[in-house]
Structure 1
Amino acid sequence: MYTLPQAIADLIDRGAVFYVSHSAGKDSQAMYARLQDVLPADRLVVVHADLGWVEWPGIQKHIRDNVRHPVHIVRAAKTFLGMVESRGMWPSSSCRQCTSDLKRDPIMKFIRADLKARGASIAVNCTGIRAAESKARAKKQALTVNKRETVDGRVKRTVYDWLPIFDLSTEEVFREIEAAGQKPFWTYERNERLSCVFCIMGSLNDLRHGAEKNPKLYKTYVELEKQIGHTMFQKGGQPVGLEAYTGISC
């Protein structure tokens, strides 16, 4: 069984509530599998940010089938495609408004409300970020104070960001899932990662798989590119349409 770091054990003793952000991806699934038996059951809360049509069908069922806790679904007031149309441009790796506006902010809004309803003051926001994913992520620390969400006024609230599987390799993530007697979401039979069906961070392989399995959604993305005059991807520093990028025509 996984042994908790002393700093996390101390937070448990202080009454912290642990919010596990679950996307149905392999990292989220491995993170929950690791934490389900070592955190107080009544202080482990599963939260999923619903992205609607742009996420793979069936992921919420997959989450529910592989957790013991209720799954709290949160949604932003806007949709991803509506946000893109309104801005006239797609997110980029340096400006991932999709993550901040559609995932982080709704989850944090839920955490604030749930923490208040419990009469608690310490929240631990758990996410499945790993050092092996990128050089930028490798520079992160596994446990930090979230200064944006921590307040020290009349009503005190301390929020920590914790990365419980920060040191795991991809192979270890899949082994963690297998050890829990589970299987990863079905798209991993071919996909390298799970996110939106068509993600700016997605590999060519994942994008092509998404187009094959979700042709109506793919056509919507292609048409939106043409409507706003901005493409999701570039080649050689030049804009390239999704159809040309993937080699799949609508």
Structure 2
Amino acid sequence: MMIRLRSLVPPDQLVVVHAPLGRVEWPGTLAHIRATIGDTPLILAHAATDLLTAVRKRKKWPSPSIRTCTSGQKRDPIARELRRYLKANPRFGGRIVSCMGLRAEEGRDRARRAPVLRNERNSKAGREWLDWLPIHGWTEARVFAEIATAGERPHWVYARGMTRCSCSFCIMASRADLRRAARLRPRLAAEYIALEEEIGHTLSPTRVPLREIVGMGKNLA
């Protein structure tokens, strides 16, 4: 997405916002972002609490229909920082186009999303806010081809077999990705398993315990 935006938008009109996810984020993510955005300003949008703390407090994992992880860890902190940025930069006149790299090919819900949509929630208090999905129609093959043509590299987890790069262990992840993630981050897997067993609720919407999915024995040391 950033490769496409740089080809369309003047550099002084671009800003990157990343919501750090703490220990559940893949190691090296922030370094990867900094290596691929060049001189574009980077804003970090921190959530009030980390995901595992929030899950322990709620005694429940998020679900595909109730994605408190997306709203609490990503969407709301990012929107907060963009509002602050607009207020601090009156030259933009309160106008913003918020871009995300979601693609139609990734699932039915994303396929149904409009590529351009006015954000009614944030279009207030003198702001005009559009949400835009610049690569909504791109195939996975095109994504990796564009990265290679630009002389860049994908995030390292793809080379290690992951099919998506979100939280290391995601409620939307396939069983295969959860197993790969457990091999790559066994200590974090053990922490997730212990939390599942503490609160009596599973990360996977299939309700299959993570311990069973990833094949970890009772000894988590």
TM-score over 0.5 for the alignment? yes
The residue number in structure 2 matching 1:47 is 17
The residue number in structure 2 matching 1:166 is 136
The residue number in structure 2 matching 1:244 is 212
Indicate which of 144, 156, 159 corresponds to 2:117.
144
The residue number in structure 2 matching 1:21 is none
Partner of 1:197: helix, strand, or coil? Answer: coil
User: In the alignment, does 2:5 pair up with 1:32?
Assistant: no
The residue number in structure 1 matching 2:186 is 215
Q: Cα offset for 1:37?
A: 2.8
2:63 and 2:189 mapped to 1: Cα distance? 18
Q: Cα offset for 1:40?
A: 1.3
User: In the alignment, does 2:33 pair up with 1:60?
Assistant: no
Contact 1:192/1:206 (8 A) holds in 2: yes
Per-residue deviation, residues 59-109 of structure 1 (Å, max 9, x unmatched): 100111111113211111111001100110001111111001110000000
The residue number in structure 1 matching 2:148 is 178
Contact 1:80/1:98 (8 A) holds in 2: yes
Q: Cα offset for 1:233?
A: 2.1
AA aligned to 1:245 is I
2:12 and 2:113 mapped to 1: Cα distance? 29
Contact 1:92/1:200 (8 A) holds in 2: yes
Contact 2:103/2:138 (8 A) holds in 1: yes
Taking structure 1 as the reference length, the TM-score comes to: 0.83
Partner of 1:144: helix, strand, or coil? Answer: strand
Contact 1:33/1:180 (8 A) holds in 2: yes
User: In the alignment, does 2:39 pair up with 1:71?
Assistant: no
Q: 1:126 to 1:244 in 2, by over 3 A?
A: same
Aligned residues: 214
1:243 and 1:226 mapped to 2: Cα distance? 9
Q: Share of identical aligned residues, percent? A: 43
Per-residue deviation, residues 8-33 of structure 1 (Å, max 9, x unmatched): xxxxxxxxxxxxxxxxxxxxxxx001
Gap runs ≥5 in structure 2? none
Per-residue deviation, residues 164-220 of structure 1 (Å, max 9, x unmatched): 001101101111111111110111011111110100111222211211121211111
Taking structure 2 as the reference length, the TM-score comes to: 0.93
Q: 1:219 to 1:118 in 2, by over 3 A?
A: same
The residue number in structure 2 matching 1:126 is 99
Contact 2:14/2:41 (8 A) holds in 1: no
Gap runs ≥5 in structure 1? 1-30
